[in-house]
Amino acid sequence: MQITNDQQKDTLKQLVTFTISEETYGLEILKVQEIVRLPQVTKLPKAPAFVKGVIDLRGSVIPILDLREKFGIDTIAYSEKTRVIILETSGKKIGIIVDTVSKVIQVEEKDIAPPPNAITGDDNQFISGVIRLEDKLIILLDIGNMFSEETISQLHEIDAELAGV
């Protein structure tokens, strides 16, 4: 059986890869709106610890979340390499702070293994798979499951409060 170009496209996923600490992660490129340097962040009172605040990106107020804190990894000072990946999830634009953005890669769906049983469960429901690429593993994140409904609701409340300012 011969595979057509359309069938081949269906089996390929494009991922933006980035690092947090020593680990490499990936997100589907279709979820990524843009990648920017870390701008000045305005802190918000009473926000969860991993919500660093908000930024103004060309007239849009976007909550900024630190994945190091979300994942329980030791925090470090931000550097020139620190980036913010702007995503849309649950109808809401958010930015996630990562240590570095690596590159865009293409992988075949068949090369994405399910997450090991040891890391599944409520705390890790945002890990949708693992990819072996050359000499390292890439953890594929599902941004839609990364933040609880409560967190998304809090982000919408922040939006509403800021709109009233």
Mean pLDDT per 10-residue interval, the chain, length 165 residues: 49 93 93 94 85 90 90 91 91 91 93 76 73 89 74 66 60
- Tell me the Cα Rg of the chain: 17
* pLDDT for the residue 142: 86
* pLDDT for the residue 127: 87
Count CB atoms within 10 A of the CB of residue 118: 7
Tell me the C-alpha distance between 138 and 103, whole Å: 12
Give this prediction's pTM: 0.82
- For the domain made up of 11-163, give the CATH fold: OB fold (Dihydrolipoamide Acetyltransferase, E2P) (2.40.50)
